Amino acid sequence: MFIKKLPRHLRPITSTIIAAILFVPAAHAQMTADLANTPEDVIRVQFIEDESGSERIDLSGKLRMLSQRIPAAACNLNAGIAAEETSKVLSGAVAELNAILAALEFGDENLNVNGAEERRKTLRMIEELHTRFAPLQAALSESVDGVPSDEAIQVLAAGNMSVLEMAQLLVTQISGEYSNQASLLQSDALAIDIAGRQRMLTQKISKEVCLILSDVDAAAYQESLGGTMHLFEVSLDALRGGMPEAGVQPPRTDDIAAGLEEARNHWQAIKGHLDAINAGETIDDAARAAVFLGLNTTMASMNRVVGLYSDASKLGL
């Protein structure tokens, strides 16, 4: 919703938190401006015509997650961590990324995406994401016996952030495109976007942990790990308790609140290992497997929460 002014002495702290949570403030500022120019009777309408807006935001948000899930699983598989599970995760993530891109472009009734995308800018972004992901997929296809090579991990380590960057631009574009429709309010779009980003952050942490422990660009990923963990925790707290000054409302249903609490519990179960790695310590293979699987469980909880937010946006709650 609209950002209200706070007492002067609270503004520096709060603005830092808001910037961390929103991550793409310019896009959401534009969404707020668009909403301000929308007639009040239109703003109040929750469900006139379903243009799959919430589904498109959800799926495009998943692309962010998959851009990190793929290198995380590939790295762990290369290191021999929970090999059977990581192999399934890797193959499934590659297939899902390609399926979502196709659904966003052409529509897919099985994914509840009604109709093909028509905006040329969105279509160009989808094509660009294809282009950026292609070298990573090619590197994975050259793996021996299904296990990514050291060379493949280097390609993924070098190229995954470019894919994430494009996925972020795409979800921002789609959020702006569909949250301006009467069927999806800006506040709902923001909640779906932030909750969806939490899925990505679990996988970004998983990737960073594995690359650090595998000594692949370890210094760079060691530097970023703490910030990624902090962003996940700040955003989770905002979703759980609300942060109206950032446009983040408290959970709209008991199911959403329960889902967020479940995600927090899963996070807390592995946080000790993450804190140790963030402090520069190492962990054994059993703990590495626990981190990989635990972050996947946290992601699954957040995935359910995104679905609950999407459902609530259609019910006019």
Percent of the chain with pLDDT over 70: 81
Which carries the bigger pLDDT value, residue 121 or residue 314?
121
Residue 179 CA to residue 185 CA, distance in Å, equals 6
Q: What is the pLDDT of residue 52?
A: 76
Is 265 in a helix, a strand, or coil?
helix
Q: Would you say residue 120 lies in a domain?
A: yes
Tokens 């296990």 belong to 147
Assess if residue 1 is contained within a domain.
no
Q: Is 155 a member of any domain? A: yes
Q: Is residue 156 part of a domain?
A: yes
Using left for φ > 0, alpha for ψ between -120 and 50, and beta otherwise, residue 251 falls in: beta
* Amino acid 29: pLDDT: 43
Identify the pLDDT of residue 120: 95
Q: Is the pLDDT of residue 7 over 60?
A: no
Among 217, 226, 232, which Cα is nearest to 279's? 226
Q: Do the domain assignments include residue 2?
A: no
> Which residue did the predictor score with more confidence, 310 or 205?
205
Is residue 3 assigned to a domain?
no
Over the stretch 43-96, which tens digit does the pLDDT of each residue have? 333 333 456 777 888 899 899 999 999 999 999 999 999 999 999 999 999 999
pLDDT band at 23 (very low <50, low <70, confident <90, very high): low
- Within-domain flag for 31: yes
pTM metric for this prediction: 0.82
Report the number of distinct structural domains present in the chain.
1
Q: What is the residue-averaged pLDDT of the chain?
A: 85
Residue 274 scores a pLDDT above 70? yes
Per-residue pLDDT at 179 = 65
Classify residue 215: in a domain, yes or no: yes
Radius of gyration of the chain, Cα coordinates, nearest whole angstrom? 19
Select the more confidently predicted residue: 107 or 310: 107
**Which residue type, as a one-letter code, is found at position 278?**
N
Domain that holds residue 172: 8-315
